[in-house]
């Protein structure tokens, strides 16, 4: 247990000291800070657009934004977690295992009575604490900025929802950290270890959802989840590929937690998909063989 | 043969021999074809929905015939163009970075500079190599898209469509070159090549994903799945009339979008291919005239990126960083 805690603590320290992900971290925190303002501004405009449309007698439909919760202003954060957070998670995951392979730390640690699963688990726990710290900071920024926008402190219910959203974000980022760690372990070059998970992320974010929904790739950057096309082929594609559409499931679940039910699907299914991704990758990571960890890089 | 051409030739041989790059190009081609397939299937679904609607109208005794959805073949390329701007740019970064990183990692820079190479031979040779490589990839990818359009999309192409595709191919090449040059410059400047890659990736994230995403998210019509105005059952002319009152907001949103070079590729590409309704079936000369400012800025961005690479990847700079 002592060794496990020491491994986790060492990883936490190393991640904090790592300079490479810090630029991504700065962009992430900056965008989380800006997202509430963007959400608020957009909401103000869209409400004015609706008011004008209604006043001109062009619609009799109710305003879809009349009773949005203050947490609606955080909806852009969802997309920044998908775009920046996931890439950050990949980079820290890759750095974690590549660092040990480069410095031959794995050789040293595994010469002691330490099981590979235990050491890798400790590293992962350290990274998860690091990510949790960043998300906690982001939650504090969101809480403060939304409070400033609405002119009052968020209610306990909204605060719990906001914390729930960031807990969901933590779960969403977990598979990307593990994926990064895995490619760091399995790739022969540092460059490949970074690029393979980034290409995988682009497939999960753009290609898989497009096949099930017929949405254009750029439209998938909208925090509002895409609706599955109703055609026979797309229904089938959505049935088969839907569970692989991790980013869309995160959008659905986040929409539910943030109280933005516009376009929200089944949150339990989305949660189950996110857990399934995390568990499957964790199993692969924790069953990594000793020899794999000791394999040298080709550079 | 001068040193620049020798380096370009060697670089091209390396690119051809590197399986990883071939996989990347293959992946790009596959997602672009998939996108054409998805778009053509989606069109068939729309035709099916139209026929069902028409049958229902007939059964209800109506003699009205609503206009059928029209197939404009090049519009099926929207997703493919978007993949080129998102994933193509990412791969352009990888290639630009890789061309310098491999020299740093293998320590071959010292060997190269033992030869009498001119000041800008390395930068020029490598830029020339990926200019040729991207030209070949662009031609290949567009050829594949044409085949996909004809075979999968069952879309007959006219000579004018090919002209539009060639123009789009040229601006796609410029766009990809911008990213390769920028990544090469960053990789040369950084002490560790992987740091250069990271900086280029962050630039990609901000310019290709975040800035256009903010502009897209701020669009009032994108606030509801399927579109705000569609959900409010507001017709297109009425939508335009309402939005005319929000010109200031739209200008800010547009200003934000055009601060990204990606939009300077996307807008002319969508215009040439008729993806934007206002340019659909318009004479190429008219579209060219309207899109000239974007084409100029994209060309300037390419020249600036090439100049940046030239300055960053000189013999002196590379050896200083290596020592």
pTM: predicted TM-score of the whole model, two decimal places: 0.88
Helix %, strand %, coil % of chain A (to 5): 80, 0, 20
**Six-digit token pair at B35?**
């996108």
Residues of chain A in contact with residue B51, where contact means CB-CB under 8 angstroms, are none
Residues near B276 by Cβ (< 8 Å), separated by ≥ 6? B267, B270
Which position has the token pair 């290709």? B208
Residues of chain B in contact with residue A89, where contact means CB-CB under 8 angstroms, are none
| Longest Cα separation, chain B | 86
Identify the CA nearest to B271 among candidates B40, B77, B44, B84. Answer: B77
Q: Do A58 and B238 touch (CB under 8 A)?
A: yes
Residues of chain B in contact with residue A217, where contact means CB-CB under 8 angstroms, are 35, 79, 82-83, 86
A78-82, A126-130, B5-9, B312-316: which has the minimum mean pLDDT? B312-316
Better pLDDT: B67 or B322: B67
Report the complex ipTM. 0.84
Q: What secondary structure, in 3-state letters, does chain B show?
A: CCHHHHHHHHHHHHHHHCHHHHHHHHHHHHHHHHHHHHHHHHHHHHHHHHHHHHHHHHHCCCCCCCCCCCCCHHHHHHHHHHHHHHHHHHHHHHHHHHHHHHHHHHCHHHHHCCCCCCCCHHHHHHHHHHHHHHHHHHHHHHHHHHHHHHHCCCCCCCHHHHHHHHHHHHHHHHHHHHHHHHHHHHHHHCCCHHHHHHHHHHHHHHHHHHHHHHHHHCCHHHHCCCCHHHHCCCCHHHHHHHHHHHHHHHHHHHHHHHCCHHHHHHHHHHHHCCCCHHHCCCCHHHHHHHHHHHHHHHHHHHHHHHHHHHHHCCHHHHHHHHC
Q: Measure the CA–CA gap between A155 and A169, rounded to whole angstroms.
A: 21
Q: Measure the CA–CA gap between A284 and A178, rounded to whole angstroms.
A: 9
| B window 50-79, beta carbon within 8 A of A | 78-79
Q: How many CA atoms lie within 13 A of A110 on its CB side?
A: 18
Q: Measure the CA–CA gap between B98 and B15, rounded to whole angstroms.
A: 10
pLDDT in tens, B80-107: 999 999 999 999 998 899 888 888 777 7
Dihedral sign, Cα of residue B170, residue B173, residue B179, residue B181: negative
Q: Do B38 and A198 touch (CB under 8 A)?
A: no
Q: Please, what is the end-to-end C-alpha distance for chain B in angstroms?
A: 29
Is B206 within 8 Å of chain A by CB? Answer: yes
Pick from A65, A83, A190: which is nearest to B209 by CB? Answer: A83
Q: Measure the CA–CA gap between A71 and B163, rounded to whole angstroms.
A: 49
Express as a percent the part of chain A with pLDDT over 90: 40
Pick from B101, B212, B233: which is nearest to A218 by CB? Answer: B212
pLDDT in tens, A132-160: 999 999 999 999 988 888 888 999 999 99
Q: Do A195 and B242 touch (CB under 8 A)?
A: no
- Which site among A53, A87, A183 would you substitute to test the B interface, given the most B Cβ atoms closer than 10 Å to its Cβ? A53
pLDDT band at B320 (very low <50, low <70, confident <90, very high): low
- Which site among A54, A218, A230, A265 would you substitute to test the B interface, given the most B Cβ atoms closer than 10 Å to its Cβ? A218
Residues of chain B in contact with residue A31, where contact means CB-CB under 8 angstroms, are 210
Q: Do B225 and A263 touch (CB under 8 A)?
A: yes
**Do A32 and A141 meet the contact criterion of CB atoms below 8 Å apart?**
yes
Identify the CA nearest to B32 among candidates B158, B137, B175. Answer: B137
pLDDT band at A264 (very low <50, low <70, confident <90, very high): low
DSSP letter, residue A217: G
Residues near A123 by Cβ (< 8 Å), separated by ≥ 6? A7, A8, A11, A96, A97, A100, A181
Q: Measure the CA–CA gap between A257 and A268, rounded to whole angstroms.
A: 11
Mean pLDDT of B130-148: 91
Averaged pLDDT score across all residues of chain B: 87
Mean pLDDT of A176-200: 91
pLDDT in tens, B238-285: 888 888 888 888 898 889 899 999 999 999 999 999 998 889 889 999
For the cut 80, the answer to whether the pLDDT of residue A41 exceeds it is: yes
- Which site among B194, B237, B253 would you substitute to test the A interface, given the most A Cβ atoms closer than 10 Å to its Cβ? B194
Better pLDDT: B222 or A98: A98
Pick from B94, B214, B223: which is nearest to A195 by CB? Answer: B94
CB pairs under 8 A between A and B: 170
Q: Do B194 and A194 touch (CB under 8 A)?
A: yes
State the smallest CA–CA distance between residue B301 and chain A in angstroms. Answer: 22
State the smallest CA–CA distance between residue B121 and chain A in angstroms. Answer: 25
Q: Do A216 and B82 touch (CB under 8 A)?
A: yes
Q: Measure the CA–CA gap between B204 and B179, rounded to whole angstroms.
A: 8
Looking at residue A42, what is its pLDDT? Answer: 82
**Do A159 and A143 meet the contact criterion of CB atoms below 8 Å apart?**
yes
Q: How many CA atoms lie within 13 A of B205 on its CB side?
A: 25
Is B6 within 8 Å of chain A by CB? Answer: no
Dihedral sign, Cα of residue B232, residue B237, residue B238, residue B244: positive
**Do B232 and B238 meet the contact criterion of CB atoms below 8 Å apart?**
no
């Amino acid at each position: 247990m002592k060794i496990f805690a020491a491994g986790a603590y060492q990883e936490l320290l190393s991640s904090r000291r790592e300079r490479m992900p810090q630029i991504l971290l700065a962009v992430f925190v900056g965008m989380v800070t800006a997202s509430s303002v963007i959400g608020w501004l957009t909401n103000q405009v869209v409400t004015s657009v609706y008011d004008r449309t209604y006043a001109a007698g062009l619609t009799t439909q109710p305003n879809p934004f009349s009773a949005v919760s203050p947490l609606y202003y955080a909806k852009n954060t969802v997309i920044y977690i998908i775009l920046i957070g996931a890439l950050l998670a990949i980079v820290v995951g890759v750095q974690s295992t590549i660092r040990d392979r480069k410095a031959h730390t794995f050789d040293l640690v595994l010469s002691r009575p330490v099981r590979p699963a235990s050491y890798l688990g400790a590293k992962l726990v350290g990274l998860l604490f690091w990510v949790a710290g960043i998300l906690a900071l982001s939650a504090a920024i969101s809480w403060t900025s939304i409070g400033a926008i609405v002119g009052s402190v968020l209610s306990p219910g909204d605060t719990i929802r906001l914390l729930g959203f960031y807990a969901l974000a933590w779960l969403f980022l977990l598979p990307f950290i593990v994926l990064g760690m895995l490619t760091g372990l399995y790739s022969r070059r540092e460059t490949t270890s970074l690029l393979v998970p980034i290409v995988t992320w682009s497939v999960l974010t753009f290609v898989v959802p497009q096949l099930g929904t017929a949405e254009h790739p750029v439209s998938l950057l909208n925090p509002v989840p895409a609706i599955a096309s109703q055609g026979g082929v797309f229904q089938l594609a959505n049935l088969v590929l839907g569970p692989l559409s991790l980013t869309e499931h995160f959008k659905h679940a986040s929409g539910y937690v943030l109280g933005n039910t516009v376009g929200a699907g089944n949150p339990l299914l989305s949660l189950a998909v996110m857990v399934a991704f995390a568990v499957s990758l964790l199993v692969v990571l924790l069953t990594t063989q000793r020899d794999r960890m000791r394999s040298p890089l080709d550079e | 043969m001068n040193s620049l051409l020798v380096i370009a030739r060697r670089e091209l041989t390396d690119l051809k021999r590197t399986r990883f790059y071939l996989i990347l190009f293959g992946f790009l081609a596959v997602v672009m074809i998939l996108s054409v397939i998805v778009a053509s299937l989606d069109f068939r679904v729309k035709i099916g929905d139209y026929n069902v609607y028409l049958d229902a109208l007939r059964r209800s005794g109506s003699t009205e015939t609503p206009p059928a959805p029209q197939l404009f073949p090049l519009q099926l390329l929207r997703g493919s163009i978007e993949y080129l701007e998102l994933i193509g740019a990412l791969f352009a970064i990888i290639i630009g970075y890789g061309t310098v990183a491999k020299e740093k990692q293998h320590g071959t820079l010292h060997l190269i500079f033992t030869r009498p190479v001119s000041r800008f031979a390395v930068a020029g040779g490598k830029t020339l190599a990926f200019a040729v490589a991207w030209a070949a990839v662009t031609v290949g990818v567009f050829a594949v898209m044409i085949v996909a359009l004809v075979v999968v999309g069952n879309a007959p192409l006219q000579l004018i469509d090919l002209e539009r595709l060639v123009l789009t191919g040229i601006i796609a090449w410029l766009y990809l070159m911008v990213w390769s040059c920028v990544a090469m410059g960053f990789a040369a400047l950084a002490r560790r090549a992987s740091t250069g890659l990271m900086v280029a990736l962050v630039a990609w994230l901000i310019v290709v994903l975040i800035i256009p995403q903010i502009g897209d998210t701020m669009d009032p019509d994108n606030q509801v799945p399927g579109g705000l105005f569609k959900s409010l059952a507001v017709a297109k002319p009425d939508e335009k009339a309402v939005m005319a009152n929000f010109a200031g907001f739209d200008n800010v949103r547009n200003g934000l979008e055009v601060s990204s070079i990606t939009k300077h590729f996307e807008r002319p590409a969508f215009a040439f291919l008729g993806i934007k309704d206002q340019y659909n079936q318009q004479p190429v000369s008219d579209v060219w005239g309207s899109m000239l400012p974007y084409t100029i800025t994209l060309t300037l961005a390419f020249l600036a990126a090439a100049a940046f690479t030239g300055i960053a990847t000189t013999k002196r700079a590379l050896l200083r960083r290596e020592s």
